[in-house]
Chain A
Amino acid sequence: MHWGWFIAFAAVLLLLPLVIDTHTPTVLLIWALFALSLGLMWGYAGLLSFGHSAYFGLGAYVYAIAAVNMGESTVPLMLAIVVPAAVAAVIGAMMFYGRISDVYMSVITLVVTLILFKFMNATAGDAYRIGDARLGGFNGMPGFPTLNVPGFPEISLFGTPTYYVCAVSLLLCYLLCRWILARSFGRVLVGIRENESRCAMMGYNVPALKTAIFTVCAAMAGLSGCLFANWAEIVTPSVFSLRQAAEVLIWVIVGGLGTLVGPMLGAAVLGMVKLLLGEQTTIDNALILGILLIVVVLAIPRGVVPAISAAWASWRRARPRGVGAGGARRRLGGAGAAGGAQGRG
């Protein structure tokens, strides 16, 4: 990993509010984080979830419900990370220990987000409340307390401070992803993507590893959902919608599956395009997204998934090779282990 680029990027992010209004950049950062969470799981571990929006939405709703009930934002934020992770752990374990195939994973994840969408849509009326929070059905939940300084509910973080929270979250999560990939865990995930049964026959507990990464990525998605709730100041069932699920997929694919930066870039660019398009009515937004997805899928001749392996392979070939086992360990060990006799692992 190139620390130079990272620091430059971080600097740009942190200095941006001095130059432009932060409202739009905030949501772009949020979408980038959401895309990153899917990109890690899909691009590196090969786990394609058609319903990653489920955890995004859960993060948003859990935050809103908890914030209304508690009046303060610290615990709700933590819950917005933990609850989606817990749900993902259960669903993931159910899927992966059941040894279902890729297609069925995509079906089940799709159905999960559908269930949440339908359920939330039907929760209109006073009867549907958790504590003090009315779920609001298809109209959603407006008016919940937004982020505040931990411990000081009166000091709101609304506006530019929220932008900083989002920026820092994105940077930290990106570092987390890099760290995961540098560890053996990350390398084994790549092995699982390449050849799952071979990995099992090397003695790795594949279902456990898949569940673990699924959970981590759900946690990140939940965080992005919580931040989204704070940006939009309202949470509606559309966070669970098939449209939202399709959008994040498109961001990741178009941005570049198999990298960490690609999905973030895809989300930021396409998110910006979506915001701009939303303001005009000549060409429907869905039409453009649809064409984009079709074109991208067709343009990658050997398929989206083999393309990851191929891109990976040609990227490896282009890089200067290390010598001997130290080279293998260095490459597989990723950033920071260069030349050292002891790596992290």
Chain B
Amino acid sequence: MDYAAVVVLEILYMIAFLALTSAGLAIVFGMMRVINLAHGEFVMLGGYLTIACAKVGVNIYFAMLVVAPIAVGIFGLIVERLIIRFLYGRMIDVMLATWGLSLLMVGAVSMIFGTTAVSIPAPIPGYELGSYQMGGYNLFIIAITLLLVGAMWVVLRFTRAGLIARGAMQGPEVVAALGYDPRKVYMATFTVGAALSGLAGGVLAPLTGLLPSSGGAYIAKAFITVITGGAAVISGTLSSATVFGIVNQLFSFEAGPVIGELAMLVLAIVLLRLMPQGITGRFFRGST
């Protein structure tokens, strides 16, 4: 019974992890068809900023929930103005340019923060579930993810900004027809996506030692989660996060974390081959 609870919690955690780290990329991809290959580095940047703030005494929750998103959001805004905005509609070129950006960020962070791992302890202690020792912080991550996804859904469904955003998903003409400047909408969208990535990085910072190369670990999973999810931002990300989360954890329990990750990657190839439009290209069409 305890074991079942552990499994469920671990799966929930994995789903939350995938959804959280993919949220920023999903927004940017879902709305603008931009694949930001530097997304992992945005997350990593959020982590580094959170750790740096925590080390100088800033409250850790403030650092991860306020400082990281805002700072990385501003960075994202700069990137959009300097690089992304020239490349809209050119998907492959965006991927190449953001790949360059990711290299740039890894190099810069290496130079600024050095290449040894930095870390901070998790602010929430572990707890016991039957005979198992569980990480309490994982529950926090699940909670934050739920809040975040819920907030995104509410904003998209019920606010004017959300309406504009959903219009943007149909194409720039729709946005213009609504009377808004598509370029400004895209600028705001990319900024929000970057902020979400920073938030994810901040929240995940206490988990492991952070290296300049940590972004690489995030991008792969986020990438396949978003692409497999398809165009719908929330239902797409959630459905693929669920599928991958379950597969990853089940295989991990059986054969170790590496096999779990490999299973996820292989499944991604299979799913993409069967559903080139992503999960929400086939099911849940028309959802947000």
A108 touches B107 (CB 8 A): no
Residues of chain B in range 44-87 having any CB-CB distance to chain A below 8 Å: 83, 86-87
Q: Would you call A200 an interface residue if the criterion is a C-beta within 8 Å of the partner chain's C-beta atoms?
A: no
Question: Of the candidates B35, B90, B93, B269, which one forms a contact with A108 in the assembled complex, judged by CB atoms under 8 Å apart?
Answer: B269
B261 touches A118 (CB 8 A): yes
Q: Would you call B101 an interface residue if the criterion is a C-beta within 8 Å of the partner chain's C-beta atoms?
A: yes
Given the complex, which residues of B lie within 8 Å of A119, measured CB to CB? 258, 262
Q: Would you call A259 an interface residue if the criterion is a C-beta within 8 Å of the partner chain's C-beta atoms?
A: no
Given the complex, which residues of A lie within 8 Å of B261, measured CB to CB? 118
B100 touches A292 (CB 8 A): yes
Question: Of the candidates B100, B220, B224, B276, which one forms a contact with A289 in the assembled complex, judged by CB atoms under 8 Å apart?
Answer: B100
B93 touches A118 (CB 8 A): no
Across the two chains, which residue of chain B brings its CB closest to A289? B103
Q: Would you call B92 an interface residue if the criterion is a C-beta within 8 Å of the partner chain's C-beta atoms?
A: yes
Across the two chains, which residue of chain B brings its CB closest to A243? B103
Residues of chain A in range 77-132 having any CB-CB distance to chain B below 8 Å: 94-95, 98-104, 106-108, 110-112, 114-115, 118-119, 121-122
Residues of chain A in range 236-256 having any CB-CB distance to chain B below 8 Å: 242-243, 246, 249-250, 253
Q: Would you call A303 an interface residue if the criterion is a C-beta within 8 Å of the partner chain's C-beta atoms?
A: yes
Q: Would you call A16 an interface residue if the criterion is a C-beta within 8 Å of the partner chain's C-beta atoms?
A: no
CB distance from A129 to the nearest CB of B (A): 17
Across the two chains, which residue of chain A brings its CB closest to B219? A242
CB distance from A118 to the nearest CB of B (A): 6
A107 touches B272 (CB 8 A): yes
On whether A115 and B266 interact (CB within 8 A), knowing A286-B106, A289-B100, A290-B107, the answer reads yes
Interface footprint category on B: 35 or more
Q: Would you call B223 an interface residue if the criterion is a C-beta within 8 Å of the partner chain's C-beta atoms?
A: yes
How far is B223's CA from A120's CA once the two chains are assembled, in angstroms?
A: 21
Across the two chains, which residue of chain B brings its CB closest to A305? B92
A253 touches B96 (CB 8 A): yes
Question: Of the candidates A99, A112, A290, which one forms a contact with B103 in the assembled complex, judged by CB atoms under 8 Å apart?
Answer: A290
Given the complex, which residues of A lie within 8 Å of B107, measured CB to CB? 283-290
A294 touches B272 (CB 8 A): no
Residues of chain B in range 112-131 having any CB-CB distance to chain A below 8 Å: none
Between A and B, how many residue pairs show CB distances below 8 Å?
Answer: 122
Interface footprint category on A: 35 or more
Residues of chain A in range 288-342 having any CB-CB distance to chain B below 8 Å: 288-294, 297-298, 303-305
B276 touches A104 (CB 8 A): yes
A297 touches B273 (CB 8 A): no
Q: Would you call A48 an interface residue if the criterion is a C-beta within 8 Å of the partner chain's C-beta atoms?
A: yes
Question: Of the candidates B104, B105, B227, which one forms a contact with A107 in the assembled complex, judged by CB atoms under 8 Å apart?
Answer: B227
CB distance from B286 to the nearest CB of A (A): 21
How far is B227's CA from A122's CA once the two chains are assembled, in angstroms?
A: 26
Q: Would you call B110 an interface residue if the criterion is a C-beta within 8 Å of the partner chain's C-beta atoms?
A: yes
A293 touches B92 (CB 8 A): no
CB distance from A196 to the nearest CB of B (A): 15
Q: Would you call B95 an interface residue if the criterion is a C-beta within 8 Å of the partner chain's C-beta atoms?
A: yes
Question: SS class of chain A's interface: helix, strand, loop or mixed?
Answer: helix
On whether A118 and B100 interact (CB within 8 A), knowing A294-B83, A297-B87, the answer reads no
B97 touches A298 (CB 8 A): yes
CB distance from A256 to the nearest CB of B (A): 15
How far is B99's CA from A122's CA once the two chains are assembled, in angstroms?
A: 25
A303 touches B103 (CB 8 A): no
Q: Would you call B172 an interface residue if the criterion is a C-beta within 8 Å of the partner chain's C-beta atoms?
A: no
Across the two chains, which residue of chain A brings its CB closest to B266? A115
CB distance from B268 to the nearest CB of A (A): 6
How far is B269's CA from A119's CA once the two chains are assembled, in angstroms?
A: 16
Across the two chains, which residue of chain A brings its CB closest to B33? A103
A303 touches B90 (CB 8 A): yes
Given the complex, which residues of B lie within 8 Å of A104, measured CB to CB? 227, 272, 276
B111 touches A287 (CB 8 A): yes
B224 touches A106 (CB 8 A): no
Residues of chain A in range 43-72 having any CB-CB distance to chain B below 8 Å: 48, 50
B272 touches A106 (CB 8 A): no
On whether A112 and B273 interact (CB within 8 A), knowing A284-B111, A290-B101, A304-B92, the answer reads no
A284 touches B108 (CB 8 A): yes
On whether A304 and B93 interact (CB within 8 A), knowing A283-B111, A289-B100, A293-B103, the answer reads yes
Q: Would you call B91 an interface residue if the criterion is a C-beta within 8 Å of the partner chain's C-beta atoms?
A: yes
For A240-278 the 0/1 string (1 means CB < 8 A from B) is: 001100100110010000000000000000000000000
A249 touches B276 (CB 8 A): no
A293 touches B108 (CB 8 A): no
Given the complex, which residues of A lie within 8 Å of B216, measured CB to CB? 242
Q: Would you call B102 an interface residue if the criterion is a C-beta within 8 Å of the partner chain's C-beta atoms?
A: yes
B104 touches A287 (CB 8 A): yes
Which residues of A does B touch, CB under 8 Å? 48, 50, 94-95, 98-104, 106-108, 110-112, 114-115, 118-119, 121-122, 242-243, 246, 249-250, 253, 283-294, 297-298, 303-305
Which 8 residue pairs spanning A and B have beta carbons closest together?
A287-B107, A293-B100, A290-B104, A290-B103, A284-B107, A286-B107, A122-B258, A294-B100
Besides A110-B223, A115-B262, 5 other A-B contacts (C-beta < 8 A): A103-B227, A107-B224, A111-B269, A250-B100, A283-B111
Sample of 27 A–B contacts (CB below 8 Å): A48-B92, A100-B272, A100-B273, A100-B276, A103-B35, A103-B95, A103-B227, A107-B223, A107-B227, A108-B269, A110-B223, A111-B224, A115-B265, A118-B262, A119-B258, A242-B216, A283-B107, A284-B108, A284-B111, A286-B106, A287-B103, A287-B111, A290-B102, A290-B104, A294-B100, A297-B97, A298-B83
Which residues of B does A touch, CB under 8 Å? 35, 83, 86-87, 90-93, 95-97, 99-108, 110-111, 216, 220, 223-224, 227, 258, 261-262, 265-266, 268-269, 272-273, 276
